[in-house]
Structure 1
Amino acid sequence: MFAQMFNAAVEQSKTLFEPALQANQIATSQMQKLGQKQLSLINDYSTMGLQQLEKASKVTSLDDLQGMADEQLKASQTASEKLLKDSMQMVELGVAFSSEWQQLFAEKAQSFNAQQVAEPKSGKAK
C-alpha cells in the first residue's frame, strides 16, 4: 500500500518537474554556448588589439609610421568585416535559442492538452 502511494507520488513529481528540468537543461546548454562564443570573441578582438599595439611600438621612423597607418586602415576594415560576421552569428545563435524554447513550450503544451483530454472532468453535476 505504502509502496503504491510512494510510486504514485514519484510519478506525479516526474510529471510536475520534468518541464522545469528540461528548461534548466536548455538554459544551461544555451549559457554554455553563449559563454564559449563570447570568450572566443574576447580572445579574437583582444588579439587584434594587441597586434596593433605591438606594431605601433615598433614604429621608429616616418616610413614606419606611414606603413603602420596603411596597416591600420586594413586592420580596421578587417575588424569591421569581422564585427559584422560575428554579429550575424550572434543573431543566428539567438534565433536557435528561441527555436529551442518554442519547441519545448509547444511539446509541453501538446502533452498538457493531451493529458487534460485523457483525464475525466471532475466537478460535473451529477
Structure 2
Amino acid sequence: MDAFLSNVDWPEIGIASWDTLVMVGLSLLFSVLAGLPIGVLLFLTGKRQLLEQPVAYAVLSFVVNVLRSVPFIILLIVMIPFTVMLIGTSLGVAGAIPPLVAGGAPFLARLVETSLREVDRGIIEA
C-alpha cells in the first residue's frame, strides 16, 4: 500500500482540494444571490400572483429553461469570452466561478419558484 501512495504529491492534493472548496463555496454563494431573487421574481410574475406579468414571466422562464438545459461543458466553452471580460482569465479558480454560477443559478431559481408555488395561497396572503 505504501508503494501505491508513495508517488502522491500530498501538498499539491491539499492545494487542489482547497481550490475546489473555494470554487464550490463562491459559486454556491453567487448562485444563491442570483437564483433566489430570480426564483422569487418568477413566482411573483406567474399566473394569479401579486405582480402577474405574462410577458416578463415567459421571457424569464425561457432564459432559465435554456440555461438549465445546456450541458455544462458547452456552457463553459460558450462563456469563455464573458469570463475573460469579467474576471480577466478563463483559467483557474476565478475563471471557473462565472460558468458555475451560470449553471447553478437557474436550477436554484426554478427550485425557489416551485417551492413557493407549493405554499398554500392563504398563507401567502396573510
TM-score > 0.5, shorter chain as reference: no
Larger Rg: 1
Q: TM-score, normalised by structure 1?
A: 0.38
Higher helix share: 1
Q: TM-score, normalised by structure 2?
A: 0.38
